Amino acid sequence: MNFYEGSLVATGLKVGLVVARFNSLVTEQLLLGAADVLRRHGVKDADIDVFRCPGTFELSSLLRRVARSGRYDAVVALGAVIRGGTPHFEYVAGEATKGVAQVALEAECAVSMGILTCDTMEQALERAGVKAGNKGAEAAVAAIEQANVLREAGKVPSPRRAE
């Protein structure tokens, strides 16, 4: 058996972080969490580029452009959708998730999703570093692992022909 998996060593990786401005109180914490993890796993500061878009709905189109540039080993989408009192929540959360999934399937690089979907701002802040971890940091760890396993998958030797 041969196993292929991604390490969490991020030395030499180039990463694009795509961040929604909407609910920036939360998304800026997701960004800090993601950047902190990347640096601590060995990514150089100069190899982390941050792109900002208006809201979570816009994340996937910018994410796609960044992923397609060919400059990154991984791109990470960071956003926060908070239910509040309107049905808008469902549309924004649903479309963003579908959009990021579509980018992930098309992209040559790793794509990870750090989008919070919460009922309240309090819950969102809890998941952005206050209490229950940081979704941005988790997404950055996933991006590193996926970038490395994608690289490994590209090195799988072709089957030897029978003589």
User: Which of 55, 102, 149, 150 is the binder for ligand INI (CB under 6 A)?
Assistant: 55
User: Which of 15, 17, 19, 23 is the binder for ligand INI (CB under 6 A)?
Assistant: 23
User: Which of 82, 110, 113, 116 is the binder for ligand INI (CB under 6 A)?
Assistant: 82
Q: Is residue 88 annotated as a catalytic residue, yes or no?
A: yes
Residue 72 sits in the site that holds ligand INI (CB under 6 A) = no
Residue 58 sits in the site that holds ligand INI (CB under 6 A) = yes
Q: How many residues does the chain have?
A: 163
User: Which of 6, 16, 33, 79 is the binder for ligand INI (CB under 6 A)?
Assistant: 79
Size of residue set near ligand INI by CB under 6 A: 16
Residue 22 sits in the site that holds ligand INI (CB under 6 A) = yes
Q: Which CB atom, from 18 or from 144, has the smaller least distance to ligand INI?
A: 18
Q: Which CB atom, from 25 or from 132, has the smaller least distance to ligand INI?
A: 25
| Secondary structure, 3-state, the chain | CCCCCCCCCCCCCCEEEEEECCCHHHHHHHHHHHHHHHHHCCCCHHHEEEEEECCHHHHHHHHHHHHHCCCCCEEEEEEEEECCCCCHHHHHHHHHHHHHHHHHHHCCCEEEEEEEEECCHHHHHHCECCCCCEHHHHHHHHHHHHHHHHHHHCCCCCCCCCC
Q: Where do we find the tokens 């929604």?
A: 20
Contact window for ligand INI (CB under 6 A) among 10-18, 36-44, 48-56, 155-163: 48-56
Residue 56 sits in the site that holds ligand INI (CB under 6 A) = yes
Backbone angles phi, psi at 114, to 5 degrees: -115, 60
Report, as residue numbers or ranges, the catalytic residues.
Answer: 88
Q: Which residues would be at the binding site for ligand INI (CB under 6 A)?
A: 20, 22-23, 54-58, 79-82, 84, 88-89, 92
